[in-house]
Amino acid sequence: MKTLLTLAAALLALCGLASAGVELSEDQKQLMKQLRSACMAETGVDEATIDACKTGQFADDPKLKCYLKCTYQQMTVMDDDGVVDADMLLTMLPEEIQPKAEPVVNACKEMRGADACDNAMMFNKCLYEKAPDYYMVV
């Protein structure tokens, strides 16, 4: 299971490249679907609410906030307190985009809300605001 999560983490990092023209393999797409399904089942969030994030529409929905937390925790880049491990997240990205991603991730990693779910939401909103062309949600 840990291997699956590590692969899913790497895939999420790659997923952000989809808008930059990088195609995911069918296996990678399947792992992304599994991660989405697991976190949707855990939180009960509606799929349309998740998909709306792709265009910067972040609903003020506790289920969405906890869904985002779930994806980061499954990828092992967020702890139970909602603190983002920016270094871990950056190491999962392909080397060629790390220089572009680093200032964005570092600018957003300190976002803090009322709890871990709120932190995940604030982190995502910040990522979208700073790099909408590269933002993607699982």
Q: How confident is the prediction along the chain (138 residues), in pLDDT tens digits per residue?
A: 444 444 444 444 444 444 455 566 788 788 889 999 999 999 999 999 999 999 999 999 999 999 999 999 998 999 999 999 999 988 887 787 788 889 999 999 999 999 999 999 999 999 999 999 888 888
Largest separation between any pair of C-alpha atoms in the chain? 38
Under a CB-based contact definition with an 8 Å cutoff, are residues 65 and 118 in contact?
yes
Give dist(CA 113, CA 119) in Å, integer. Answer: 5
- Does domain 25-132 sit in CATH 1.10.443.10? no
Give dist(CA 128, CA 56) in Å, integer. Answer: 6
Under a CB-based contact definition with an 8 Å cutoff, are residues 4 and 30 in contact?
no
Give dist(CA 65, CA 69) in Å, integer. Answer: 6
Element (DSSP H or E) covering residue 88: helix 86-91
So where are the chain's domains? 25-132
